[in-house]
Chains A and B, each alone.
Chain A
Amino acid sequence: MFLIHCPYCNEEREQEEFSPAGEAFIARPEAPEDISDEAWADYVFYRTNHKGDHWEQWVHSNGCRKYFMVERSTITHEILKVAAFGADISE
């Protein structure tokens, strides 16, 4: 039910054009074989399920098919920021 601004198409479009793709900043471990089962499980299964402002990934699945990052309040569903991968999100 959101309007999402796609940073690649540079347009605000209905949510039905997009698909959620999980929490952002879940990096794949560099050397999976060298880490413990716990650390691997943490990467594969555990997510923060954060209440508040939360960075997540979305994909413009019925559009440009690009993945990007969205900062969204999980309380109000307000979308605070949208960023392409590699973009500076510190501001």
Chain B
Amino acid sequence: MRVEQITSHQIDRSKPLTFIFNNKKYKGFEGDTLASALIANDALLFARSFKYGRKRGLMAAGVEEPNALVSLEMGGRYTPNLKATEIPLYDGLSAKSATNPHSFDLRAFIKPLHRFMPAGFYYKTFIKQAVWAKVEDSLRALSGFSEAPTQEDVDVYDHVHHHAEVLIVGGGAAGMSAALEVLKNSDSERVILVDERARLGGELFNEFASDEAAAIWHEEGVADLCGFAKEQSDRFTMLTRATAYAWHDQNYVEVLETHATGENLSLTNGSQVRKTLHKIRAKKVILATGAHERPMLFEANDLTNIMLSQSVRRYLNEFGAVSGKKVVVYGNNDSIYQTAQDLHRCNISCTVIDVRSAGATNSIADKTRQGGIKVMQGYAIVKAHGSDKVDGIDVALAVRQGVSWEVIGESESLSCDLLATSGGFNPVVHLDCHTGAKATFDEVSQAFLPQKERPNRQTCGAVSGVGAWHDAVIDAKNKAQLTLQSLGVVSEVNNAELGENHSNYYNVGEFFTPAAIIERPKVFLDLQNDVTTLDVALSIREGYRSIEHIKRYTAMGFGTDQGKTGNINGIAVAAAILGKTMPEVGTTTFRPAYTGVDFGALAGRENGGLFDPQRYTTIHDSHVAKGAEFEVVGQWYRPWYYPKTGENIHQAVHRECLAARTSLGMMDASTLGKIDVQGPDAREFLSRVYTNAWMKLAPGSCRYGLMCNEKGMIIDDGVSTCIGDNHFIMTTTTGGAASVYSTLEMWLQTEWNHLDVHLNSVTDHYSTIAVVGPNARNLMKLLCQDVDFDRESFKFMQWRPGIVCGVSARIMRISFSGELAYEINVEANYGRYIWDQVATVGEKWNITPYGTESMHVLRAEKGYIIVGQDTDGSMTPADVNMNWIVANNKPFSFIGQRSFSIAALSAENRFQLIGLLTKDASVVIPEGAHIIDNGGKSVGYVTSSYFSPMLGRSIAMAQMQGGLSKVGETTIVKIVQEKQGLKEIPCEISSSVFYDINGERVDGND
């Protein structure tokens, strides 16, 4: 309900908004969050818990909320797993629970069974794969999270890089104070202040009702900061609704900002950026991340309307919303009295139950009693009652006996409709720990505080255990001064005194973990993951002692919770069971991300067409005009095949292959990597990086080379052309160009810097057009008059300079198809012109452009390997039957040579490249199919497989253990077909050369 007495400026009662939650219509106000508006509407059910199917409501008011996960909007703006506490209300908002509390699904059915489902239940039950396979789908649907989006995200996300001298994380009293102090005492230093909430102030709003000074300080502080942001916008950036979710090395902080209108479709209309990922590199970081309240432990502490005390206070003071009329406030520290007083002031009936015994805390208790509030000191809540929602509690006397707590005597019952609890405060050390800092336990404040000293970082306010706002303001000023001093901006530091007892302002008592309570059922530590105290006890009984193992076995702190609400209580319970202290148990490791980050935000603009660079040859437009289908190879868009009207890929490839074999084909080969190698030691260099000999290759000649790494494994291949004694052009595979270039540079720069060799990537500098087929020579004679194309004077593996259609060209006689072929290399910008000339002149031989698919068929017919397809980084030249290219007698031990003599590389059962001929010539084996031996074991797999138009049958290349010694044998290839099970394909093992075995076609017919 809405409390009329509260005159908060944070909601605007003159601006009512309508929204839909779980298919029902509600009203709220401008300034509400989804959570506060639903509290005002008394709509309190948010979820069914993922394991036990228990109904859950709100527990908190901020980022730490574990239960109220919702999905927002539909279609292209659907966003899963947002916290209702973090969604600002807007008119027309539509949201749904991640797990519908009102539906009767499998979870509701599971609920009565939950005592049979302790920690490790799923591990133990489903360790047998057969059982898991049957239930996987239905259990995954109960994950406790929203369904994954099914449509493309229609929104736009940005990345922004910042450099700053000072980054302040957190815009509560401490963060505001730190920012103001830095800004007032510096002139040019760049400052960024980020806060996760829509409004600066943090928990300060809680104080407004009882402390006028807080409201005044806040108003002035916000005005001053806004003034700086306006007048010094070149050096001060203030981001709200911006969560610093990761802190990486060297003060690199990632911040996700949700724009104020980001989720409001009516306003953005798709034209505005929805979220911005800020990448901030800061010289100094001031952490003012505050603290999260932790709940008290008792049976059924997860019932709806059992909330954190400071959250109840915040809903009341900031939004004028409260979810009960008869409230019990329960805890172990003084902050509960403030909550009670605030409620009482609004005429809401409340009772305070303080687990600490009467004595030290009498003054605040007495003062509260005088105000007319019932206070029970030294009592503990043992159990909460209620079916969906809390309706009462059992309380009993709590006594401290030495180091442990006990609950004694008969319990009595009290009725209530809202229970607010506070078990102390957990400093938000998550971010600080992302780069390896260790949180240490502080006995005084009963909390894990950030590591004391870290370079380039200060902490202030509640994260340092300074709880009172006025102390936090002073603490922040001191830390800001220290930061300015470390930047050299100020020379002396004003170190102001903080108030008395500032380090434990709320007098937090010890963790309340008596055996009589933690041995009860349904005492929940982590509500999001349904982890109870009994789960922790069980994991310890089963031998898990480290808190890291207990966490993993119980799933405590998993999911979006990331240890915000439950972990510290979990550590306390483990400590009680193990008989250890808190520091001995220690914390789990906090890792990025602190909160959920949208995939869209991570991708930013690098999406769709900007996901990866797209490379086109200068001939691309012609391929498009011819109707080519494309495939992407190492960012290049290469023609895959050129279908004529009505042709499918098989028909097109069939036609293209026959053209190249019987008359004339042409191909755009411009994408092959090209490296210009120059210098007096160029030959020596090639000899070192290729397995074969290069010292005697004459200018005018070309040679194929195979490149290995030091492990002796093939990494690349290609033809290099000798332009002159000091000048070669190396070609690499299309996909390997960048990595080969980088590897060669590494050798030259790190090992062989005495070699006088220079490399330059010239892939883009030349267009390469291959003309292939028995009529290639006839065509070349028409295209180029100043070169003698006679077979004896221009031999295979030679090149000649010439003028092709008026353009200066290098013509190589090399072949990747086994046919007579020439490659015409011209300056890249002439590529399209020469391509068109070749196509026109070649018409009399019905010249046919072909793509990568036909290229693959033609090369496979000849048994030529594709590095990366027929090899996988574990193949030596011997494995692919290419020992002929290894020159072991070169003076310099080439890269990889030494490894060849290691025994393992000549083992008989190595995978070796063979051919496979199916018994049924029409069956084409799918690539990746496995070769199965008589024992049913896989002994290899198919790497390339095609139907050969020339041979009229299928051909395949495969890697097979000891395959080269099995040529001529029959084997079985098995493939798994969806819904049809295994299919067996009998094959003959053959040589991997299928066509033109003696290599007679390369000189042509004439």
Cβ proximity bits B807-847 to A, threshold 8 Å, 1 near / 0 not: 00000000000000000000000000000000000000000
Kindly identify, within residues 415 to 452 of chain B, every residue whose CB is under 8 Å from any CB belonging to chain A.
435-436
Tell whether B389 is near chain A: CB-to-CB under 8 Å. Answer: no
Among candidates A1, A65, A86, residue contacting B745 with C-beta atoms closer than 8 Å:
A65
In angstroms, how far is the closest chain B Cβ from the Cβ of A83?
A: 13
Residues of A within 8 A of B710 (CB): 28, 43-44
User: With A1-B250, A3-B250, A32-B893 given, is the CB distance from A40 to B899 under 8 Å?
Assistant: yes
Q: Tell me which of B372-380, B746-754, B964-972 binds A.
A: B746-754
Cα A33 to Cα B750 in complex, Å, equals 21
Kindly identify, within residues 29 to 74 of chain A, every residue whose CB is under 8 Å from any CB belonging to chain B.
31-33, 35, 37, 40-41, 43-44, 57, 59, 61, 65-67
Cα A43 to Cα B902 in complex, Å, equals 14
In angstroms, how far is the closest chain B Cβ from the Cβ of A59?
A: 7
Report how many residues on chain B are interfacial, defined by Cβ distance under 8 Å: 23
Among candidates B742, B753, B901, residue contacting A61 with C-beta atoms closer than 8 Å:
B742
> B711–A44 contact, CB under 8 A?
yes
Q: Which of A1, A2, A85 has the most CB of B within 10 A?
A: A1
Cα A85 to Cα B751 in complex, Å, equals 10
Tell whether A81 is near chain B: CB-to-CB under 8 Å. Answer: no
> B249–A59 contact, CB under 8 A?
no
Residues of B within 8 A of A41 (CB): 902
Residues of B within 8 A of A75 (CB): 436
> A67–B250 contact, CB under 8 A?
no
> A67–B745 contact, CB under 8 A?
yes
In angstroms, how far is the closest chain A Cβ from the Cβ of B603?
A: 15
Residues of A within 8 A of B899 (CB): 40, 44
User: Interface residues of A toward B: which range?
Assistant: 20 to 34
Tell whether B897 is near chain A: CB-to-CB under 8 Å. Answer: yes
In angstroms, how far is the closest chain A Cβ from the Cβ of B709?
A: 9
Residues of A within 8 A of B745 (CB): 59, 65, 67
> B749–A31 contact, CB under 8 A?
no
User: With A3-B281, A31-B893, A44-B899 given, is the CB distance from A66 to B248 under 8 Å?
Assistant: no
Among candidates A1, A44, A65, residue contacting B248 with C-beta atoms closer than 8 Å:
A1
Kindly identify, within residues 897 to 912 of chain B, every residue whose CB is under 8 Å from any CB belonging to chain A.
897-899, 901-903
Tell whether A21 is near chain B: CB-to-CB under 8 Å. Answer: yes
User: With A33-B898, A61-B742, A76-B436 given, is the CB distance from A66 to B250 under 8 Å?
Assistant: no
Cβ proximity bits B717-760 to A, threshold 8 Å, 1 near / 0 not: 00000000000000000000000001001100111010000000
Tell whether B505 is near chain A: CB-to-CB under 8 Å. Answer: no
Across the two chains, which residue of chain B brings its CB closest to A86? B753
In angstroms, how far is the closest chain A Cβ from the Cβ of B387?
A: 50
Q: List 22 A-B contacts (CB under 8 A).
A: A1-B250, A2-B250, A28-B710, A28-B751, A31-B893, A32-B898, A33-B893, A33-B897, A35-B898, A40-B899, A40-B902, A59-B742, A59-B745, A61-B742, A65-B745, A67-B745, A67-B750, A75-B436, A77-B249, A77-B435, A85-B749, A86-B753
> B: which residues have CB within 8 A of A?
248-250, 252, 281, 435-436, 710-711, 742, 745-746, 749-751, 753, 893, 897-899, 901-903
> A: which residues have CB within 8 A of B?
1-3, 19, 21, 27-28, 31-33, 35, 37, 40-41, 43-44, 57, 59, 61, 65-67, 75-78, 85-86
Given A21-B746, A44-B710, A67-B749, 18 new contacts (CB under 8 A) = A1-B252, A2-B250, A3-B281, A27-B751, A32-B898, A33-B901, A37-B901, A43-B710, A44-B899, A57-B750, A59-B746, A65-B742, A65-B745, A66-B749, A77-B249, A85-B750, A85-B753, A86-B753
